[in-house]
Amino acid sequence: MTRADDRAAGVPRVLGDAWSLPRLDAHNRAFFTAGVLTLQQCTACEHVQHPPDDVCEACGGFDLGWLASAGDGRIESVAVVTQAIHPALAERVPYAIVLVSVADAPGVLVTGNVVGAEPDAIRIGDRVRVVFADARDPQSSAELRIPQWEIVAA
C-alpha cells in the first residue's frame, strides 16, 4: 500500500508527508492507531484522562485501561498559527490548533487539527466529530490512524 492508497482510504494528512509522525509507545499507541477516539480510563474509579499517564490523576491507581469514545466534541479554544516554525509547515500556514472537550469524557481536552474548514472560520463552541488521517510510518511500518476534527452542522 502506498501513501496514495492511504489517502484514498481516509482523511489526507493535514500537515503533509514531510511532517514527522508520532513515535508510538505504550501510552500513545491506542490513541494513534485504534481508529476510534481512544482515551485512558482508570479501572478502579473510572476517571478518564488525556494524555495517558502511568497513574490515575484522580485516585492514584495504576490499573489503567481504555475507553472507546464516540468521538463527539466541542471546540473550547482555537489558535491560528501564521508563522511556520518548521520548514515542513511552510505551505500549511495559516492553520488552526484547537482544544476539544469530549462529550462522553467530561473534563477531558484533546488538542488537534481541524480538517475541511478555513482557520478563520473556526469558532469556540463549534461542534466537532473525530475523523482519522491514515498514514504508515516509513521507518517502523506502523499503520497510524491519526485523530483529526471535523466541524459538524449545529
Q: Which of 10, 22, 61, 119 binds Zn ion (CB under 5 A)?
A: 61
Q: Is 13 in the site for Zn ion (CB under 5 A)?
A: no
Q: What DSSP string describes 16-83?
A: -TTSPPP---TTTHHHHHSSS-EEEEETTT--EESS--SS-TTT----EEEEE---EEEEEEEEEE-S
Q: Which of 45, 55, 93, 124 binds Zn ion (CB under 5 A)?
A: 45
Nearer to Zn ion, 38 or 40 (CB): 40
Q: Which of 1, 9, 55, 59 binds Zn ion (CB under 5 A)?
A: 59
Alpha carbons 127 and 46: distance in angstroms, whole number: 25
Q: Which residues from 69-128 bind Zn ion, rule CB under 5 A?
A: none
Alpha carbons 94 and 84: distance in angstroms, whole number: 8
Nearer to Zn ion, 59 or 121 (CB): 59
Minimal distance, residue 7 CB to Zn ion, in Å? 39
Give the pairing of strands 38-42 and 95-102: unpaired
Q: Is 56 in the site for Zn ion (CB under 5 A)?
A: yes
Please report, as ranges, the residues that interact with Zn ion according to CB under 5 A: 42, 44-45, 47, 56, 58-59, 61
